[in-house]
Amino acid sequence: MRSVKLAIGIVIALAPVVYCGALFFYFLDTGGSAQGSVDMGLGPTLLGLGGIGLLFCLPVAWKILRALHTPGGRATRHGASAPDDAPAFDADAALARYLARKSAEGAAPSSGDNPTPTRPTFGRKGI
């Protein structure tokens, strides 16, 4: 699922790059050549489209690097891959540890043997 999401993200990130590139080549072709476009006054437009197109290439490059960096398109916490022989979470063992800890706490002396002095109350708490 992650690889599909990553591929869709790359395609969506490519859309503005393709749009700026298409406009760049459209305006470049308007003058017949690069010099003709500059003579028509489209030089700043071409520079701007080229710069913005390059800026839009950064997210695409970042997404492609992320896709290549993670093994198999899967990433785990902190970007490291989990070993295949790592033990999975055992719910039965966790429940057994919890019940053992609770029974050990139950064997400890209760707070009823050592009563704490009662504090005076204020207001209508006695009602």
82-125 pLDDT, tens digit per residue, is 556 667 888 999 999 999 999 888 766 555 555 566 676 777 76
List CB contacts of 127: < 8 A, sequence separation 6 or more: none
Q: Which long-range contacts (CB under 8 A, 24 or more apart) does 94-99 make?
A: none
In a domain, 88, yes or no: no
Compute the mean pLDDT over every residue in the chain, rounded to the nearest whole number.
80
pTM above 0.85, yes or no: no
pLDDT of amino acid 126: 56
| Domain-located, residue 73 | yes
More confident residue, 73 or 34: 34
Residue 70 belongs to domain spanning: 2-77
Q: Answer yes or no: is 106 within a domain.
A: no
User: How high is the pLDDT of residue 76?
Assistant: 52
Domain count for the chain: 1
With 50 as the cut, is the pLDDT of residue 73 above it?
A: no
